[in-house]
Amino acid sequence: MALFLSYLSSSVLYFRRENYLNLGYAAPLPEIAATLNREAGPRDVILVDSFNTDFQALAMYLSGRTRMIVLDSKSENAAREEAKKAPTLWVVRNTRDVSPGGLTPRMWHEGCAGRPERNTLLEPYATWQKTVLKAARFQPVPTHFYQLTACGENVK
């Protein structure tokens, strides 16, 4: 009976996308892609963190209308140049940065400097997860797992 109840509760949480130990498995990539497909224009640029984001899965959901640059040490200079030229820059990232030298937040801040900016937080951490992050001395303790940022001309 206990095994059945465990299976049942796990199944419910799986389909509700709640209480995952690794929130990456419940990543709202279809929702992020739907927003990008609806709002990002053909001259815009999407920067995607390659260090802590499933960029391959995200790419499968995207229409291909907007250029996507996967952020890594090799793409940094090209990403910087393309971000400057884009009417609107989109940044898809995990709120817990693990990029070498803080590459992802650096590119986000550089690309959005002086532009109107909108941040959308997705996939909130459960109370127990925030407690674990705090105990691990992760500062600041994030409230959500994913962040989608838009900055530039088309930001509402």
For residue 140, whether the previous peptide bond is cis, meaning omega lies within 30 degrees of 0, is yes
* Whole-number pLDDT of residue 9: 47
* Whole-number pLDDT of residue 138: 77
* Whole-number pLDDT of residue 61: 96
Distance CA(68)–CA(65), nearest Å, equals 9
Indicate the helix (H) or strand (E) that contains 68: strand 67-71
Per-residue pLDDT of the chain (156 residues; tens, 9 = 90+): 655 545 444 444 444 455 544 554 557 899 999 999 999 999 999 999 999 888 999 999 999 999 999 999 899 999 999 999 999 999 999 888 889 999 999 999 999 999 999 999 998 888 888 898 889 887 788 888 899 999 998 787
How do beta strands 117-124 and 144-152 pair?
antiparallel
Best CA proximity match to 124, nearest among 50, 11, 18, 14 = 18
* Whole-number pLDDT of residue 21: 45
